[in-house]
Structure 1
Amino acid sequence: MLRDMYSNILKIHNNLQSRTDARVKDYPLMKSPVEMTTILLAYVFFSVYVGPRLMANRKPFSLKKPMVVYNLSMVLLNAYIVYEFLMAGWGTTYTWRCDLVDTSNSPMTLRMIQAAWLFYFSKYIELLDTVFFVLRKKQSQITFLHVFHHSVMPWSWWWGITLTPAGGMGSFHALVNAVVHVIMYFYYGLSAAGPRFQKYLWWKKYMTAIQLTQFVVISIHISQYYFMEKCDYQVPLWIHMVWMYGIFFFLLFSNFWIQAYIKGNRLPSAKKLKMNGSTNDSISVVANGKHLENGHATHYSNGKVLMGKVKEI
């Protein structure tokens, strides 16, 4: 039985390798789904189990400078990804309607493939968001939405660029997501830089709205496929998956918006806070399931942050 199971798994693995587009086979993390799945499972295990236990009896790290460097580096990386997506098709030859997968080896196509892979690889770098939370003992910020979003994106994109690396209309959501991440990480960078930049963060309450708009735009664009008389997109499954992705994450982020901004469930309740100290730091809730602070709380107990003053937005 075990031998048959192993044989079937091996057949599936070999079939995937045979179907992997030759143009991306030599890119890092593209040879097999085993490697990337192992990384993402380790990420989830670290985020929800290992990390919090390692930090339970340790003082939180400040990491202010590393966070500023990291966030601003992510701004530059995502801005470059946006530029490459535009120059490789979305801003040059694409129609923004029924754009098919390009199977050629033209310089423009290879540039689109490189942009798609770079977007995919950036999702592994973004796992550092969670590492920073763990090291700073902000476990309450590592929500289901946060972990799910960070783990599902690179996993699903591996399948996408394995079979359709120059994804045509199926890659539009990556362009939009990279644009949103330029804005998002710019905000994070300013926030991590300290209270003196607070006056430049007046637009923080709109971060969730930007995320929700992202999913609406993605869903509208991909929905064109269902109303066209003819669109011979080579892998219709990706169209359906992108549509479901847009709707599913719109619902998740809408629920976050309702819980955080309407019901206030994700914001600390003054009655639950231990008033054994105070801080002038304010806390805000943003779109990716994170509570971002414009400073650092000063009191800790068993890895939980106890704040004296909280300014709700």
Structure 2
Amino acid sequence: MLRQLQEMGSHALDIYDYLVAQVDPRIKEYPLMQSPVPMTAILSVYLFFILYLGPRFMANRKPFQLKEPMIVYNFLLVALSIYIVYEFMMSGWATTYTWRCDAIDTSDSPQALRMVRVAWLFWFSKIIELMDTIFFVLRKKHSQISFLHIFHHSFMPWTWWWGVGYAPGGMGSFHAMVNSSVHIIMYFYYGLAAAGPRFQKFLWWKKYMTAIQLTQFVLVSLHATQYYFMESCDYQFPTIIHLIWMYGTFFFVLFSNFWVQAYVKGKRLPKQEVKQQKNGAVAYTNGKHQENGKVHENGKMYENGSSNGIHHHPTINGTSNGSTPYENGRSQNGKMKKA
């Protein structure tokens, strides 16, 4: 039994060595690309923090106020995503690519090396985006940490490492360019949302963010589907196309379900803690209501709040005659009547 386990382990190591050896030598020069181990370690620490350590650390703490860091973070990602899209376009998609069957340029030409560089930068941006969930944990926004969110931020960067390592360019890079385009809009929205209530009026298009993401998956799947109808295509890694098609379809289903739950069934619509009735000029908050400058709570009425620590005790009818002031819990007359 032990010998069989050793043989299986040795066989697994041989497969691992073979897979790592197939990584494009041009991209091995970039950080974290020599082996999948560092990337796997980063994602493991990420999952440990968001699922166990982070919630325990924040259990008895108030949410951190991270307004300024979040604004800077989101708008930096907007700038990075714009740069990535531009580089993808200049590396082939706006110059030499046909948008159909485009093979990977394996040469050391300036344009080919430019595509390798932006492919790595796209993958590395996914490591940076792990901060999305870290912010949720530190701000105790637990409702935002869904299965879809965790899966997208952990499993996808892991698979993208292999995709970028084997196929930095060609028709398989279309989904990366489209994804970065969507992230320009997405992180711009997050940046405005983090800036505060004064920008809320500019965020009326929140629900359309999911529609934009759904459109992304449709475009990616349609582009990959072309491969199955071509008589011949010299793209070097067909497995990448199969995975892209599967991911596009899978995420379309997941995000469609999110759309239904969030905006059709209304489970993600914001709850109104304060309801205002303009006609009656009555505002209800936490079981209290205020009317005509008076606050009623649990059968008591305080007129104009309190003044210098003096409150007026109401009569049975709930009106105050102002003749029985109390200060510091004592009656000036030395007597207190119960209603």
After TM superposition, the score normalised by the length of structure 2 is: 0.77
Distance 1:94 1:147 in 2: 34
1:214-233 to structure 2, matched below 5 A, reads 214-233=216-235
Aligned residue in 1 for 2:60: 57
1:276 is displaced (CA, Å) by 4.2
Aligned residue in 2 for 1:181: 183
Distance 1:6 1:159 in 2: 21
Distance 1:20 1:68 in 2: 36
Distance 1:14 1:246 in 2: 29
Of the three residues 218, 237, 240, the one matched with 2:239 is 237
Structure 2 counterpart SS, 1:204:
coil
Distance 1:191 1:269 in 2: 17
Segment drifting more, 216-225 vs 142-151: 216-225
- Matched-pair contact (CA < 8 Å) for 2:74–2:190: yes
Aligned residue in 1 for 2:122: 119
Distance 1:266 1:71 in 2: 22
1:268 is displaced (CA, Å) by 6.3
Distance 1:128 1:24 in 2: 25
Distance 2:183 2:270 in 1: 26
Distance 1:79 1:153 in 2: 21
- Matched-pair contact (CA < 8 Å) for 2:207–2:263: no
Aligned residue in 2 for 1:164: 167
1:137 is displaced (CA, Å) by 0.6
CA RMSD of aligned residues (A): 1.8
Aligned residue in 2 for 1:294: none
Classify 1:264/1:232 alpha carbon distance in 2 versus 1 (closer, same or farther; 3 Å).
Answer: same
Distance 1:232 1:81 in 2: 26
1:92 is displaced (CA, Å) by 0.8
Aligned residue in 1 for 2:205: 203
Q: Greater CA radius of gyration, 1 or 2?
A: 2
1:37-77 Cα shifts (integer Å, max 9, x gaps): 12112212211221111100111101000000000000000
The unaligned stretches of length 5 or more in structure 2 are 274-284, 289-339
1:242-269 Cα shifts (integer Å, max 9, x gaps): 0011000000000000111111234466
Distance 2:129 2:271 in 1: 30
Say whether residues 1:92 and 2:79 are aligned partners.
no
Distance 1:15 1:197 in 2: 52
Segment drifting more, 74-83 vs 223-232: 223-232
Distance 1:244 1:206 in 2: 24
Classify 1:126/1:196 alpha carbon distance in 2 versus 1 (closer, same or farther; 3 Å).
Answer: same
1:241 is displaced (CA, Å) by 0.6
Q: Name the one with the larger helix percent.
A: 1
Segment drifting more, 1-10 vs 222-231: 1-10
Segment drifting more, 45-54 vs 85-94: 45-54
1:277 is displaced (CA, Å) by 8.7
1:170-214 Cα shifts (integer Å, max 9, x gaps): 110000000000000000000100111112212222111000010
The unaligned stretches of length 5 or more in structure 1 are 279-313
Distance 1:75 1:15 in 2: 37
After TM superposition, the score normalised by the length of structure 1 is: 0.84
**Partner amino acid for 1:3?**
Q
**Partner amino acid for 1:179?**
S
